């Protein structure tokens, strides 16, 4: 149970682990082997930790787990993420709630609509698809086919047209042919993800995929990663255009070369972009900003006022 074990540092955000372990059978992953079965923490325990963090001045609570969509199944008998989010949303204070690692095979309409309807939950969907070729998805032990994944992202956008979509994929998985990779490229272009993480497959002993014989040459895999990231850079640049001259709330996180460095709700810490800001403020403040320019990943803007 919770015993103020969360480290209070000077970052304006904190991670809360809502469950540990995993029961999914992805063939490339050894987490179930060394983390064991999926175990959720109780809602009241998580709320207590969140309340402590918010009272200590945190401006963002980030929920993490090997699979956040499965939260609660083991202890409540159902997917309890919507209930947890409603509880967090009702806590006092000005703060964001971000959910990471939403497994596409178990991301229900209820979770989508709950995330879209709660004021403090950012409309940021981190849904790691891993691949988009049906053959590779099957070999990875994933349930949804490419077409169903496409339909899932369409449903998210219907429920929340402003949603920011992030995914991560693995290239160079055993058996990945040129045509599988092309399908993945095509899928990434068709969905138009705001953010994309690309990983080269790495063999882990004790996994099912470790036994597959048709390994992809490392150089080929690296080249595929490069191609995909170049393509994504164009998409990300295009996607950021919709935020130009718009006003947002940002949390101030650092100072560098005369700029304040902030982050809007569209960006998760450590993995996404930042916004470089002209103007004054102190680290940890929530401020209103206007976006004036951007490159593929980062934005520049001006601080308008405190919120």
Range of the domain at 255: 244-306
Secondary structure of residue 72 in the 3-state scheme: coil
Does any domain span residue 168? yes
CA atoms of 296 and 169, how far apart (whole Å): 19
Mean pLDDT for the chain overall: 89
Asked which of 226, 242, 258 is the last residue of a domain, the reply is 242
- Of 118-132, 137-151, 156-170, which range is least confident? 137-151
CA 150 to chain centroid, in Å, comes to 17
* Torsions phi, psi for 303 (to 5 deg): -80, 125
Is the domain of 253 the same as that of 231? no
pTM above 0.95, yes or no: no
Confidence of residue 128 (pLDDT cuts 50, 70, 90): very high
Does 33 score more than 70 pLDDT? Answer: no
pLDDT score for 31: 62
CA atoms of 103 and 279, how far apart (whole Å): 39
**What number is the average pLDDT over the span 175-196?**
95
Is the domain of 105 the same as that of 220? yes
CATH number at residue 180: 3.80.30.20
Could you report how far apart the first and last alpha carbons of the chain are, in Å?
Answer: 35
Does 189 score more than 50 pLDDT? Answer: yes
Does 8 score more than 80 pLDDT? Answer: no
Is the domain of 236 the same as that of 289? no
pLDDT score for 2: 40
Does any domain span residue 40? yes
The number of distinct structural domains making up the chain is 2
- Category of 125 on φ-ψ map: left (φ > 0), alpha (ψ -120 to 50) or beta: beta
Is the domain of 208 the same as that of 282? no
């Amino acid at each position: 149970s919770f015993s103020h074990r969360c480290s209070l540092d000077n970052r304006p955000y904190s991670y809360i682990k809502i469950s540990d372990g995993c029961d999914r059978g992805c063939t490339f992953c050894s987490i179930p082997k060394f983390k064991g079965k999926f175990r959720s923490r109780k809602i009241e325990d998580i709320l207590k930790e969140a309340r402590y963090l918010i009272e200590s001045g945190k401006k963002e609570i980030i929920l993490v787990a090997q699979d956040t969509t499965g939260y609660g199944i083991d202890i409540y008998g159902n997917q309890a993420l919507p209930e947890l989010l409603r509880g967090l949303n009702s806590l006092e204070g000005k703060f964001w709630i971000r959910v990471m690692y939403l497994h596409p095979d178990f991301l229900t309409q209820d979770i989508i609509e709950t995330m879209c309807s709660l004021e403090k939950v950012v409309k940021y969907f981190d849904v790691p698809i891993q691949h988009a070729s049906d053959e590779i998805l099957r070999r990875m032990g994933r349930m949804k086919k490419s077409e169903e994944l496409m339909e899932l992202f369409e449903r998210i956008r219907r429920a929340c047209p402003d949603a920011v979509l992030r995914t991560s994929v693995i290239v160079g998985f055993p058996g990945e042919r040129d045509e599988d990779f092309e399908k993945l490229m095509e899928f990434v272009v068709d969905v138009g993800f705001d953010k994309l993480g690309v990983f080269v497959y790495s063999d882990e002993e004790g996994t099912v995929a470790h036994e597959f014989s048709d390994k992809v040459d490392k150089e080929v895999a690296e080249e595929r990663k490069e191609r995909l990231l170049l393509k994504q850079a164009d998409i990300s640049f295009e996607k950021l255009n919709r935020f130009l001259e718009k006003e947002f709330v940002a949390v101030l996180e650092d100072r560098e070369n005369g700029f304040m460095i902030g982050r809007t709700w569209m960006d998760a810490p450590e993995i996404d972009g930042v916004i470089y800001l002209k103007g004054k403020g102190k680290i940890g403040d929530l401020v209103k900003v206007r976006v004036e320019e951007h490159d593929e990943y980062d934005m520049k803007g001006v601080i308008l006022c405190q919120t």
